[in-house]
Amino acid sequence: MNALLRTGLRLGGAAVAAGAAGAALLWSGVYDVGADAAHTRPVYALLEYARERSVAVRAGALTVPAGLDDAERVRRGAGNYAAMCAGCHLTPEAGPSELSRGLYPAPPNLSQREVDAASAFWTIKHGIKASGMPAWGGSMDDAHVWDLVAFLGRLPSLDAQGYRELVTRSDGHSHGGGESMPGHDHEGGHPHAAGAAHAHDAAGPAVAKPQDAVGAQADRHDDADAASAHGQRHERETISAPAKTRDPPRPDASAPPTHEHADGHSHQH
């Protein structure tokens, strides 16, 4: 009994010491969390295993709908992939993007990788903590997520031309959710592949943006400043210019006219 107690105390003491050492390590800030510094191998393996098991357990409870190979579903999913995914997960025959190179862990190249449908659905909908993968379920209903999964099933078999053709025929970034929310900016948010259309970009009268008004006002100020500077320069030039020689006095109109002959002699009339 005493031996068991001593063993328990030793294990408990070791656990406390390990916890204290871990707390000291975290407090010191010595562990580099920068995206350009890889995890240590034990940390990476632990996080990778935790992610895979977490997704697998939750995806296992899903029912994959029939018809994910349907051409219409694939077509609809193509536009959303181009708008929401291609910047990180890339496109056929294209190299890494600026965004994909800067993310860690690096997002998989889905143009070269087959995915499990249920796992892909769960990941798209719920995202992955502390990664570049957002939870698109906040703005995208399940039907559109499954369309995107359908496209992922076709993507590895596409070449660059086939990909562009599918995206061109798609409905663009259209999933009846956040893509039409106020303040949603495609150019500052999701990268778009060439040929991607916007289903919600309806033609209409141009609306002046606040920044346009600011720019116009700045232009007016610039014009006024330029005019003022020109006036000041002209004034300085006028002041500094030497006085012009006055014109010689004109002959008195009342004086008798003078007539000059060819031989050089002249006389007054």
Q: What is the pLDDT of residue 50?
A: 96
Least confident of 8-22, 104-118, 180-194: 180-194
The closest alpha carbon to 83, from 214, 150, 175, 18, belongs to 175
**Mean pLDDT along residues 215-243:** 45
Model pTM above 0.75 = no
Cis peptide before 105 (omega within 30 of 0): yes
pLDDT digits (tens, 9 = 90+) for 31-54: 888 999 999 999 999 999 999 999
pLDDT digits (tens, 9 = 90+) for 155-191: 999 999 999 999 999 999 999 876 755 444 443 334 4
Across 110-268, where does the E strand assignment appear? 258-260, 266-268
Place of tokens 């916890």: 19
Complete domains list, the chain, with CATH: 45-180 (1.10.760.10)
**Mean pLDDT along residues 119-137:** 96
Helices (H), 29-184: 41-59, 71-84, 86-89, 98-102, 117-126, 142-154, 160-169
Residue 264's pLDDT band (cuts 50, 70, 90)? low
**Quick check: helix, strand or coil at residue 267?**
strand
Q: With a cut of 50, say whether residue 241 has pLDDT above it.
A: no
Q: How far is CA 248 from CA 29, 98, 251, in A?
A: 91, 78, 9
